[in-house]
């Protein structure tokens, strides 16, 4: 093996964190972009002279475009490789934020968000596949877990950061900052995503491969589990603020602190799951057995959060809830990336699309209840339990190709 090829694979006992700083920065920025616009809606609506509901189309445009296009863009990554799609995605993400920063009307703002979503759809699945393919099996969980933690941190920090920057320089300022940080990431991405792997050059582009992942029994079950658990988690959490406001008379600021706990919990869960997954793989096992455990913990936490008192207990429960959520997402992402290595980006993109679909289903299900606390308990707890039961057959069936090969060599 050449020295270039040797450097492309991290040492078996540690993650070469420095060689991933570019992709980690872009993951953080993509996470930040997701909810950045939420605190800016009233200001944007006033500035471009539309109603708040109309201004919210800039939020829905981003999520819908990402959910609908990501699986197809993942297939492009699986054909042409990680580096070109990560770089194209970063450039589109940059362009989308520049358009939003320059927008003087709602149409240009929405178009900028659409371009930014396409950039995230190109880059996101490719980054996850890149991490799985270049980090090495012994440290793969930690490499993916840190990425998940930074993505979650970006989502949480996006709301207060957007509000602070808008107060300092107007609602355009947050988009300029995102664009500037993306410019800083581009040279890192260009230099750090080079690999000697040329296998992509031999593959035809098959957009039909977008749906092949659903024919894999393990991947299909994992995606169904994601759909159920995200419906439980995000559906329940969407209405939790209203329930806690009514029960404890919480201010908007206090509910914002709850959001910080969500981010801390998600990041801790992602990091923890990455470590225990790597430890399991060192002993020739996989970490899929933890998926139903996290689902049960999440469901119990959602039920307790709907009815518990005092407030400090609710805060502790919410923290545990999102530790379980972050750990679950990391475990499932790792599972999907290693189940079909030839379709890693496609599988990762379906994970994101399924997450959005689950959130929409969960919000609709909880919203159907006249009493939101009852809806949180029944939908959050019930779907989480169903998710855990659906995930049970995944345990012990997902030893990676690297582990099976190693076992064969040792026998």
Query: Average pLDDT in the 135-139 region?
Result: 78
Band (pLDDT 50/70/90 cuts) for residue 407 is very low
For 107, counting Cβ atoms within 10 Å of its Cβ (0-12 exposed, 13-18 middle, 19+ buried), the class is: exposed
Angle, vertex CA 327, rays to CA 93 and CA 184, nearest 5: 25
Asked whether the predicted pLDDT for residue 162 surpasses 60, the reply is: yes
Residue among 94, 103, 90, 96 at smallest CA distance from 172: 103
Q: What pLDDT does 1 receive?
A: 39
Query: Average pLDDT in the 171-178 region?
Result: 92
Residue written as token pair 């750990």? 327
Q: What pLDDT does 326 receive?
A: 92
Task: Kindly report the pTM of this predicted structure.
Answer: 0.78
Identify the weakest region by mean pLDDT among 52-56, 75-79, 253-257, 317-321: 253-257
Asked whether the predicted pLDDT for residue 8 surpasses 60, the reply is: no
Q: What pLDDT does 391 receive?
A: 94
Band (pLDDT 50/70/90 cuts) for residue 29 is very high
Measured in Å, how far apart are the chain's first and last C-alpha atoms? 24
Residue written as token pair 């320059």? 102
Q: What pLDDT does 294 receive?
A: 95
Q: How far apart are CA 241 and CA 234, in angstroms?
A: 12
Half-sphere exposure at residue 340, Cβ-oriented, CA atoms within 13 angstroms? 26
Q: How far apart are CA 68 and CA 227, in angstroms?
A: 15
Angle, vertex CA 18, rays to CA 15 and CA 24, nearest 5: 90
Q: What pLDDT does 165 receive?
A: 80
State residue 16 phi and psi, 5-degree precision.
Answer: -80, 80
Q: What pLDDT does 245 receive?
A: 81
Q: State whether residue 377 is helix, strand or coil.
A: helix
Average pLDDT, the chain: 83
**Structure confidence by residue, pLDDT tens digits, 187-231:** 999 998 876 555 555 556 566 667 888 888 999 999 999 999 999
Q: What pLDDT does 410 receive?
A: 41
Angle, vertex CA 64, rays to CA 387 and CA 363, nearest 5: 45
Residue among 269, 31, 285, 284 at smallest CA distance from 159: 31
Q: What pLDDT does 13 receive?
A: 55
As a whole-number percent, the residues of the chain with pLDDT over 90 amount to: 35
Q: What pLDDT does 360 receive?
A: 79
**Structure confidence by residue, pLDDT tens digits, 75-121:** 888 888 888 999 999 999 999 999 999 998 999 999 999 999 999 98
Considering only CA atoms, give the Rg of the chain: 21
- CB distance 243 to 125 below 8 Å: no
């Amino acid at each position: 093996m050449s020295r270039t090829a040797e450097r492309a694979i991290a040492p078996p006992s540690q993650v070469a964190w420095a060689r991933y700083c570019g992709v980690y920065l872009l993951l953080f920025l993509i996470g930040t972009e997701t909810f950045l616009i939420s605190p800016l809606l009233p200001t944007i609506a006033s500035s471009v002279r539309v109603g708040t509901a109309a201004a919210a189309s800039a939020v829905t445009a981003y999520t819908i475009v990402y959910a609908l296009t990501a699986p197809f863009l993942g297939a492009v990554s699986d054909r042409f490789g990680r580096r070109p799609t990560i770089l194209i995605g970063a450039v589109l993400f940059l362009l989308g934020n520049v358009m939003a920063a320059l927008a003087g009307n709602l149409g240009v703002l929405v178009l900028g968000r659409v371009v930014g979503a396409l950039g995230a759809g190109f880059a996101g699945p490719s980054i996850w596949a890149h991490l799985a393919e270049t980090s090495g099996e012994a440290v793969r969980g930690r490499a993916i877990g840190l990425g998940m933690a930074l993505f979650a941190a970006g989502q949480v920090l996006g709301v207060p950061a957007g509000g602070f920057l808008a107060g300092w320089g107007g609602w355009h300022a947050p988009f300029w900052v995102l664009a500037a940080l993306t410019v800083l990431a581009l040279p890192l991405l260009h230099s750090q995503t080079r690999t000697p792997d040329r296998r992509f050059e031999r593959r035809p582009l098959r957009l039909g491969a977008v749906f092949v992942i659903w024919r894999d029994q393990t991947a299909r079950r994992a995606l169904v589990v994601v759909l159920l658990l995200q419906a439980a988690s995000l559906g329940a959490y969407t209405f939790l603020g209203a329930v806690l406001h009514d029960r404890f008379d919480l201010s908007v600021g206090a509910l914002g602190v709850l959001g910080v706990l969500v981010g801390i919990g998600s990041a801790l869960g992602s990091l923890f799951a990455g470590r225990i997954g790597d430890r399991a793989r060192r002993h020739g096992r996989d970490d899929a057995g933890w998926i139903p455990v996290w689902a049960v913990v999440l469901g119990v936490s959602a039920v307790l959060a709907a009815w518990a008192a005092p407030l400090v207990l609710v805060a502790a429960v919410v923290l545990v809830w999102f530790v379980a959520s972050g750990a679950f997402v990391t475990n499932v992402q790792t599972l999907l990336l290693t189940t079909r290595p030839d379709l890693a980006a496609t599988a990762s993109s379906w994970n994101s699309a399924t997450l959005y679909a689950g959130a929409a289903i969960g919000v609709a299900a909880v919203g159907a209840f006249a009493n939101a606390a009852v809806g949180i308990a029944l939908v959050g707890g019930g779907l989480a339990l169903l998710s855990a039961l659906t995930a049970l057959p995944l345990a012990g069936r997902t030893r990676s190709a690297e582990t099976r090969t190693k076992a064969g060599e040792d026998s």
